[in-house]
Structure 1
């Protein structure tokens, strides 16, 4: 049995993310922005629904304030 550690190709790569992840990033950012806009509309139009989805007003405010690139 060989006791030398194997290096995965992803670990050997000088790039921390894959090309596919980079290509999918704009769609992810658009989805985050869309969800945050919808949450903001819901918070203004139907604030009682915020509690129904299990969030506090503070949690909603913090989520809405995040830029699109933050998870």
Structure 2
């Protein structure tokens, strides 16, 4: 079974090292929340796909159900 990796867009800051520690922590937290939200939406969409669409993208109903059942914080 092929494993897909969903990635969140990365916030690129040119002077990230120049940020105060609290700001870096907030940016990191925001990126984590964004990643979780993208996983949640992606897994829900995958879970709701029709069987013929799953076949089009090369997934079985079982693998889509397994991925859709994962918690959003699990990679």
What is the TM-score of this pair, normalised by structure 1? 0.62
CA shift, 1:61, in A, is 1.0
For 2:64, the equivalent position in structure 1 comes to 60
What is the TM-score of this pair, normalised by structure 2? 0.59
Kindly report structure 1 stretches of 4+ aligned residues shifted beyond 2 Å: 18-23
Extract unaligned runs of 5+ from structure 1.
1-17
Answer yes or no: is 1:35 the counterpart of 2:39.
Answer: no
Answer yes or no: is 1:24 the counterpart of 2:31.
Answer: yes
Counterpart Cα distance in 2 of 1:38 and 1:62: 13
Counterpart Cα distance in 2 of 1:21 and 1:63: 25
Quick check: which has more Rg, 1 or 2? 1
| Aligned residue-pair number | 51
What RMSD over aligned residues (CA atoms) do the two structures have, in Å?
1.5
